[in-house]
Amino acid sequence: MSATTAPTPVTPDAPFRPGRISRAVAAFSGTPGLVIKIVLLSVTNALAIWAAYVLTSRHHWVALPLLVAATLAIDAVYLLPRRWAVPLKFLVPGMVFLVAFQIVPVIYTIEIAFSNYSTGHVIDKASAIEAIKINSLQPPPNGKQFEAAPARDSSGHLVLLLRDDASGAVYVGTKKGLTPLPKSDVTISPDTSQPTAAKGYTLIKGAELFTLDKELAALRIPTRGDAAIQAQGVAQAVELQPTLRYDAAKNQFVRISDGAVFTDNGRGSFVNGKDELEPGWKTLIGFHNFGKLATDPLYRNPFLKIMIWTFAFATITVLGAFALGLFLAITLDKKGMRFQRIYRTALIVPWAMPAFLSLLIWAGLLNDDFGIINRLFGIHVPWLFDANWAKVSVLLVSVWMTTPYFFLVSLGALQSIPQELTEAARVDGGGAWAIFRRVTLPLLLVAVGPLLIASFAFNFNNFGAIYLLTQGGPYTSESSVAGSTDILITYAYKLAIATGRGQDFALASAVAIIIFLIVGTISGVLFYRSKSLENLA
């Protein structure tokens, strides 16, 4: 008798049912996708045309061809039906944001660091020369003041109806000079003493007054010598005389009173000895800002102190938080401990809170007079108002805020270490400290080492931990900008907005470049050295 095996019934394949993501992708394919692509490319090209117009008007001839090439490349990627363009369609958006928010700011910072961009040096040279000419205008001896009213003559030209404050005489002022007007042809306001009407002239009123700024500024009414009457707003005018004369052929200003010559110093200013005309103009000055940090005692001394403190702050914060976090992780990694989850949760709370809120709360807790720390223990420690105590406060708060991070990292790394290794070391007669030093710590650093480097880089630039707690203070008599707890990043911030002469963006950018070089060098060296730990894994 023979037996046959019945074939196993085959279940028919279930019909394909696309998910939500697949249906969404399909909905934007075909004609709808083409329309969306054309609209987005049109917006992109419109923005590029606007940017090209701005670059052309400002004579940025290097950036203009780069913009055109980039726009044409983006159009080609999304319009040409080529296989090589498919990956680029996904890379282009990320590349655009990378260039816009990373590469361009870095290049701009470098350009600013090698310039004199600061208060008084923000415009170009031509604008600076015109501004110096305007600033040199001063009332001459026995200069006259007038109540004024802008008007139009029969030809539509701008004129000023002027009433002399001293004599009461009325004039019409044009680019050719003053012409007296009969008092019978002019109406004077009894309240403001301004002309309100004049025969043959139409006074400008209403919204048109707000469009006269450039015309009024350009209207100079010559009087005597090189003096002229100029409007000061729309209601007053005053006779002014230049105190400086610009010699375009020699590129210098001459003071009319004594013949003193102000020449271009090559760093964006006209100077005569220690005297400097303001404003200056923005220009490239090479390594001058870096040289100032290295040679000028006004900047060198606080910069060196701040750099040493920055290294100390970052190093102590990272090592202190790592040591404390590792100790807590080893303590709470024991099995059978009661309330273990409660302890772990309580240690994570400082990390879960927003950092800026924690820092502001600590600033209140450490207040000398009203802080709960001093009141609770009945002491009077100047936590935030003494240079040394402020540094201690900053370190304690920073370690407190960083410890939960290293606690979690260390706890995870400890649990990933095979128990067989520690048991074998214990069988070989190793004590607890020997096992930790020779087995646990080396294996732990394989995972935690890169995080220590990243944390060092973060704390090297931890602006919030300093500025929200102490604002970089307390200040000393040596510098009006640098405080006792300032680190390099807060020092750069203060240089950019709070120097004695105003905003010094160029010097702040130089400090930012130094920060980048320091952090980049240290991180590169440490990452290279940490490769030796990989052989232990």
Query: Do 462 and 455 form a contact (C-beta atoms < 8 A)?
Result: no
Does residue 22 form part of some domain? no
Domain range for 37 is 31-113
* 109 shares its domain with 144: no
* 49 shares its domain with 163: no
DSSP-assigned letter for residue 19: -
Does residue 128 form part of some domain? no
Token pair in block for residue 107: 């290049």
CA dist 235 and 193 (Å) reads 10
Q: What was the pLDDT predicted at 429?
A: 82
Does residue 180 form part of some domain? yes
CATH code where residue 358 lies? 1.10.3720.10
* 429 shares its domain with 299: yes
CA dist 310 and 170 (Å) reads 69
Does residue 411 form part of some domain? yes
Average confidence (pLDDT) per 10 residues, the chain, 537 residues = 51 56 62 85 94 90 91 90 85 90 92 94 93 90 89 91 90 92 89 89 87 87 88 90 93 93 94 93 95 91 94 96 94 80 83 88 90 89 93 96 93 87 84 86 88 93 94 79 92 82 88 94 84 55
Does residue 123 form part of some domain? no
* 237 shares its domain with 342: no
* 394 shares its domain with 313: yes
Structurally, the chain folds into a number of domains equal to: 3
Last residue of a domain, which of 52, 80, 113? 113
Q: What was the pLDDT predicted at 388?
A: 93
* 155 shares its domain with 105: no
Task: Supply the pTM of this predicted model.
Answer: 0.81
* 311 shares its domain with 409: yes
Q: What was the pLDDT predicted at 1?
A: 45
* 93 shares its domain with 155: no
Does residue 252 form part of some domain? no
Q: What was the pLDDT predicted at 6?
A: 52
CATH code where residue 171 lies? 2.40.430
Query: Do 253 and 202 form a contact (C-beta atoms < 8 A)?
Result: no
- Can you give the C-alpha Rg of the chain in angstroms? 36
* 58 shares its domain with 158: no
Is residue 109 within a helix (H) or strand (E), and if so which, with residue range?
A: helix 104-113
Token pair in block for residue 389: 């105590």
Does residue 7 form part of some domain? no
Token pair in block for residue 519: 């952090």
Last residue of a domain, which of 113, 129, 146? 113
Q: Which H, E and C letters describe 195-235, residue by residue?
A: EEEECCEEECCHHHHHHCHHHHHHCCEECCCCCEEEEECCC
Quick one: CA dihedral 54, 56, 59, 63, positive or negative? positive
User: Which residues are within 8 A (CB) of 415 and not within 5 positions of it... i.e. 6 or more apart?
Assistant: 333
Does residue 26 form part of some domain? no
* 319 shares its domain with 204: no
Question: CA dist 184 to 187, 194, 197, 253, 376, Å?
Answer: 8, 15, 11, 46, 84
* 341 shares its domain with 446: yes
* 107 shares its domain with 151: no
Question: CA dist 165 to 142, 147, 194, 390, Å?
Answer: 12, 7, 10, 61
